[in-house]
Chains A and B, each alone.
Chain A
């Protein structure tokens, strides 16, 4: 595979995707919605932070030395961004994959490309590189907006470790969206009718991102009552753990079901690295510990990425060198 050819194809795909109006509308929607979400959270954070500082000052004046640290962490404000990347980001990546194939087939340039000395690998991973470039632009822009919003409106600038955590999350998000890109492109490449490839990919998205996590979520005993079952029973965390230990088979089944969804793997890793959940076991632990403890999530994500990249390569290789179906 020649890197010059790859870069040419990647650059072409990046520019073409950025020029597409529907895709641009989806990207702008995602950026707007994540910005507003972080802004709302940042204002809320600022209020709570100011109240905590006031309380701390008053406690110190009163001679109280052991003031409990603030439960909220600035990276927690990124939670809506994680969720939007998980939901909307998946659709955007599928659209990118679909457009990448549909554009070449629609303009009938795919067959022109095949007359040139371009290998299947270059034809597969060149446009994929361009799409990943666009995805990276989107993810880093979103993260940048988050950092600025937390700093300016939340009155708390992220420190070096938090920025590193955010950068690691960005990489995980690019991999996650990359999996959906491969899915969209692969299914479109083998479909006679382009729209069918898109719909098939969207059905997979629906199952992986919404249905499986939804089933797992509703099977969670604590999600059956507003406010939580254990809270309504006045049970603390230690009681909850002791009771749930007696339902380990049910919990394992529920967990295994959730783990079949790579969206859930991405969500769990993101929540851990960004310290999003207040009562999580990953609170106040080092980056190394989080990466080690979430190795299973990372491995599954990496496995899905490799499998989907292979699936895309196989489908591009399998697609005929001549127009067929609606392209003919």
Chain B
């Protein structure tokens, strides 16, 4: 039964044009991420060469090449941002559709008229959403490898394959978080669009507002995978810095930077300080969702808005 519900979920998503549109956008951006990384890198190397020549002509010593030891995977650092922007939005829509479509058509009444337990339905929905996101990221993984081969002109090493797989695994967890936000909002808020707006509000708070208050990171700075150090000497930030461990988008960005080796200052090892909070929030959301499904009014009529 769980497989049946999950398979139905996947079929339903395949028919959703908006889901397909955002999926295409994500895959397109994955392909572009490698190209943009390569193009920017090439230009910067030339900028460095020009700068060195200019300084040499003035009799000044050339500074060391800041990109000399840049790892090949760092070309894909933009993917972190695309997952935070397009990936999270896609996940919210997948989660939202999983619940809202059934509620809007009134088919939950029909489903539970059959011998289906709420827990079975709940696990089936989760499996469907998880599978959909895993398929999306698997396609993205393949595209990333193709981009890397084209850009670096060589196959990635076994370690690079592993690192990239780990990055997409972390991205799956991050996207699952937002899928659960979409599901939770659809279960709590009556009205499809309002539920979507609430989920989107949560996404904006997590992505743009929380990092500003915990690290002084401005909203536009959140769009760049390379984060400039911010002067947070004020007492306000001494207090809010303690909440850094709940700033999910920053944790995801730090973790991704460490895996893809895109930030020189970032520790190369993957730390529990990033994984534990993300996992904890995932568990809390799943539990909250279980409670909400248990309280779901199964007698409700079809409601479009």
Contact = CB atoms under 8 A, between A and B. Distances in A.
Interface in A4-48: 22, 25-26, 29, 33, 36-37, 40, 43-44, 47
B63 to A, nearest CB: 5
Interface residues of B, number: 63
A219 interface: yes
Interface of A: 22, 25-26, 29, 33, 36-37, 40, 43-44, 47, 79-80, 83-84, 86-88, 91, 95, 98, 102, 106, 193-196, 198-200, 202-203, 206-207, 210-211, 213-215, 217-219, 221, 223-230, 232-235, 239, 242-244, 246-247, 250, 267, 326
Given A194-B192, A194-B193, A226-B229, A214 B40 contact: no
Interface of B: 18, 21-22, 25, 29, 32, 36-37, 39-41, 43-44, 46-48, 50-51, 54-55, 63, 66-67, 78, 81, 85-86, 89, 93, 100, 189, 192-194, 196-198, 200-201, 204-205, 208-209, 212-213, 216, 218-220, 223-229, 234, 236, 263-265, 304-305
Contact of B265 (A40, A87, A226, A235): A226
B47 A217 contact: no
Contacts of A211: 29, 85-86
Contacts of B205: 29
A242 B47 CA distance: 11
A250 B225 contact: no
Contacts of B37: 218
Given A26-B201, A29-B201, A219-B36, A232 B22 contact: no
Nearest to A207: B25
> Of residues B63, B93, B220, B265, which shows the largest number of chain A Cβ atoms within 10 Å of its Cβ?
B220
B21 A203 contact: yes
Contact of B200 (A79, A202, A223): A202
Contact of A247 (B43, B192, B193, B263): B43
B47 A247 contact: yes
Contact of A79 (B50, B93, B218, B304): B218
Contacts of A203: 18, 21-22, 25, 89
A36 B213 contact: yes
Nearest to A83: B219
A43 B236 contact: yes
Contact of A22 (B197, B226, B304): B197
A224 to B, nearest CB: 5
A199 B25 CA distance: 14
Nearest to B216: A40
Interface SS of chain A: helix
Contacts of A215: 32, 36
A276 B147 CA distance: 38
Given A102-B305, A214-B85, A218-B40, 6 more contacts: A26-B201, A87-B208, A213-B220, A219-B39, A221-B43, A233-B48
B201 A234 contact: no
Contacts of A210: 85, 223
Contacts of A196: 18
A25 B204 CA distance: 13
Contacts of B229: 226-227
Contacts of B85: 206, 210-211, 214
B50 A246 contact: yes
B33 to A, nearest CB: 9
Contacts of B226: 223-226
A221 B44 CA distance: 6
